[in-house]
A = this chain, B = another copy of it.
């Protein structure tokens, strides 16, 4: 391990690519000849303007977005989007469909209802502790949107493929798998993602909104809660979270130029997932918690024979330079988050450790 760094399986904030971190460190006192740190340059300066323009262009290229889509950088995380999406995009008494696939979907539903919006929960996997992705869903004709959580960080499930919602636009929380694989963006009216899992540090939320959705934004809501504010001001109605956006830009450059785009990224992610799931499936000591056809390639959740062994596993792994393997405090168990920045070498080291740990017990 370089610089005594651990293999980082944190669920978010999560690993960032080492070359990205090194680039940020190397130019931290003097950003590209500005004589200032990137944290000190004006957000209206040519330096930051290049950062945000480049970040936007890379998002557009990586996701193959046409000009109907606006790329925004907001604050407040996905949790703020749980509030903004219904406030901006559900007009009057129109209903919106939500699919409940776990903790974050549940919170999104709650925030729409707090605002008095009419929410149809058209499918839910709560009956089996959210261990699967619902199929064959009947969506509501004329709904304002269908809300999905593309990857469920806590439960270890992931949509693949996305459901056909007909004419109804999809609003999707992609916090934990954005940029992990290519997908057809056409059915999506709004995509949002807290950066701290796959594209950067905590403190910025990537929002991709289709132009017809922006037209729905009502006039009489607070300025900072309107998507249209950020569209018309290029995400700079007020001072944006500059350092977080800059870090995303360097990550997106790595994704485009070093990895070679989302097709390559998906191949690597599938390989990492397969290596891990193979051990889980071929060793009785480990038990995967998500149903086979709903498994996430970002968050691999599993149990050991007892909670005591799980504690021991997490602690001994950390002692071996493998960090972040504890499951979410709300569900327990173990979880390996293997986002874009976690390399195959880290996953290989983990499975070697898992095999040895099982053998010893």
A residues apposed to B, CB below 8 Å:
1, 3-6, 8, 10-16, 18, 21-22, 24-25, 28-30, 33-37, 39-44, 75-80, 82-83, 87, 110-111, 114-115, 194, 196, 201-204, 220-225, 237-244, 247, 321, 323-324, 329
Interface hub of A75, A111, A202 (most chain B Cβ within 10 A): A202
Please tell me if the beta carbons of B36 and A28 are within 8 angstroms of each other in the complex.
no
Looking at the assembled complex, report how far the CB atom of A29 sits from the nearest CB atom of chain B, in whole angstroms. Answer: 5
Task: List, sorted by A's number, 12 A–B pairs whose CB atoms are closer than 8 Å.
Answer: A4-B30, A8-B35, A25-B28, A75-B77, A76-B76, A77-B239, A111-B223, A194-B239, A202-B239, A203-B204, A203-B242, A203-B244
Shortest 5 CB-CB contacts between residues of A and residues of B: A203-B241, A6-B35, A75-B75, A83-B222, A39-B201
Name the one of B22, B321, B324 contacting A29, with C-beta atoms under 8 angstroms.
B22
Q: List residues of chain B with CB within 8 A of the CB of A12.
A: 42, 239
Inter-chain CA distance A126–B197, complex, in Å, is 46
Please tell me if the beta carbons of A40 and B222 are within 8 angstroms of each other in the complex.
no
Please tell me if the beta carbons of A224 and B29 are within 8 angstroms of each other in the complex.
no
Name the one of B15, B41, B43, B238 contacting A40, with C-beta atoms under 8 angstroms.
B15
Looking at the assembled complex, report how far the CB atom of A173 sits from the nearest CB atom of chain B, in whole angstroms. Answer: 12
Please tell me if the beta carbons of B42 and A16 are within 8 angstroms of each other in the complex.
no
Looking at the assembled complex, report how far the CB atom of A33 sits from the nearest CB atom of chain B, in whole angstroms. Answer: 8
Please tell me if the beta carbons of A241 and B244 are within 8 angstroms of each other in the complex.
yes
Please tell me if the beta carbons of A36 and B5 are within 8 angstroms of each other in the complex.
yes
Closest residue of B by beta carbon distance from A2: B29
Please tell me if the beta carbons of A42 and B13 are within 8 angstroms of each other in the complex.
yes
Q: List residues of chain B with CB within 8 A of the CB of A6.
A: 34-36
Inter-chain CA distance A110–B80, complex, in Å, is 22
Looking at the assembled complex, report how far the CB atom of A125 sits from the nearest CB atom of chain B, in whole angstroms. Answer: 23
Q: List residues of chain B with CB within 8 A of the CB of A25.
A: 25, 28-29
Please tell me if the beta carbons of A202 and B243 are within 8 angstroms of each other in the complex.
yes
Please tell me if the beta carbons of A10 and B241 are within 8 angstroms of each other in the complex.
no
Q: List residues of chain B with CB within 8 A of the CB of A43.
A: 13, 202
Q: List residues of chain B with CB within 8 A of the CB of A77.
A: 75, 238-239
Looking at the assembled complex, report how far the CB atom of A147 sits from the nearest CB atom of chain B, in whole angstroms. Answer: 15
Looking at the assembled complex, report how far the CB atom of A50 sits from the nearest CB atom of chain B, in whole angstroms. Answer: 15
Inter-chain CA distance A9–B24, complex, in Å, is 23
